[in-house]
Amino acid sequence: MAISNAQIARAGLLGLAVGDALGVPVEFQSRQELQANPVTGMRGYGTHHQPPGTWSDDTSLALCLAASICQCGIDYEDQARRFVGWMQRGEWTPHGEVFDIGNATRAAILRLATGINPTEAGPTHERSNGNGSLMRILPIAIYLAHASTAERIDVAMTSSRLTHGHPRCQLACACFVEVAAAVIRGIAIGEAIVLARETIRPLMASRFPAEETTFAKLFSADFASLAEADLSGSGYVIHCLESSLWCALNAETYAAGVLRAVNLGDDTDTTGAVTGGLLGLRFGEAAIPTEWVQQLARRDDILALGERFQQVCQRRWEADR
């Protein structure tokens, strides 16, 4: 069921941050460990020794992207400056310092800091297919929800290249953005996934045919009915995309879906963040448990940015319609 778009942009950012924070204390724990002691709410002082409600680089970079869109629209130079400001000066961090950053993201931002063309900064080798661009791409889906499909996909893939330049990461971002944008337009999530497949598959076949096999599970007709055992919580971009979409698709509530994502284990913060952002769009801000929101680091700053982002998105949506 579609929800009102009155605060949907803010709901997406808030859902992402809460999902991220739920996963931070148990990052790198196995599924078996979490089955024995599952996450049921905000914890603290786990893997990264951070207080409850602390979010990671996933939320930081998504908020940098949302802030950039508020100020400049789609501007890759500005996105790059904000990513550098986060890593080097602690901007948009929960407590003033960076405590978690992936290798590909670090390498790319170091290149961004030298003034390289932002779209050439992300590594393109096979071993750089982590989920570091997927985790932050949601603001583009929200802002461009009513834009043309071609523009939305181009921006998603180009923005991915600031930190992750391999075609697999670019396509994963494009696929996720198409699903999230469709949800904002009021399309049921199952249908949104089907529409994204129909859009991405011919693009892949024409430009990146070598990637078709990597998306085979996601693009299969029985994706929704996969068993949880068929999914992985790893940081590999395809695993993250599959698990996040599956958890969001099979969720009856925000809380149930995001906890299921986190309890898959391994890269818990990112699976939680990607799932949480999509569930925020699907169910709305009111569906996110109040006690989790209240514990969120820099809650007021996130809500304030969410308000600005909502207004900017609504103006763009009206123009695109």
Predicted confidence (pLDDT) at residue 2 exceeds the cutoff of 50:
no
Using 50, 70 and 90 to split pLDDT, how confident is the model at 6? confident
- Give 85: exposed, middle or buried? Use CB within 10 Å, 0-12, 13-18, 19+: middle
Q: Provide the whole-model pTM.
A: 0.97
Tokens 């925000």 belong to which residue?
A: 254
Residue 1 has pLDDT above 50, yes or no: no
pLDDT digits (tens, 9 = 90+) for 154-212: 999 999 999 999 999 999 999 999 999 999 999 999 999 999 999 999 999 999 999 99
Task: Give the list of residues 6+ apart from residue 70 with CB closer than 8 angstroms, or none.
Answer: 305, 308, 309, 312
d(Cα 57, Cα 100) in Å, to the nearest integer? 6
The reported pLDDT for the residue numbered 279 is 98
Give the pLDDT confidence score for residue 321 in this predicted structure: 87
- Provide the CA 230 distance to its chain's centre, in angstroms: 21
pLDDT classification of 67: cutoffs 50, 70, 90: very high
Contacts of 179 (CB under 8 A, 6+ apart): 141, 189, 192, 193, 195, 196, 245, 278
pLDDT value for 183: 98
Residue 130, classed as helix, strand or coil, is strand
5-320 is classed CATH 1.10.4080.10: yes
Counting beta carbons within 10 angstroms of the beta carbon of residue 221, is it exposed (0 to 12), middle (13 to 18) or buried (19 or more)?
Answer: exposed
The mean pLDDT value of the chain amounts to 97
pLDDT at 53: 98
Choose between 1 and 93: higher pLDDT: 93
CA distance 121 to 15: 29
Count of CB atoms situated within 10 Å of the CB of 4: 8
H or E element at residue 105: helix 103-113
Residue spans of the domains in the chain: they are 5-320
In this predicted structure, what is the pLDDT of residue 4?
Answer: 64
pLDDT, one tens digit per residue, over 27-44 is: 999 999 999 999 999 999
Per-residue pLDDT band at 267 (split at 50, 70, 90): very high
- DSSP-assigned letter for residue 229: G
Query: Could you tell me which residues come within 8 angstroms of residue 32 by beta carbon, excluding any fewer than 6 positions away?
Result: 265
Dist CA 17 CA 190 (whole Å): 24
10-22: per-residue pLDDT in tens?
Answer: 999 999 999 999 9
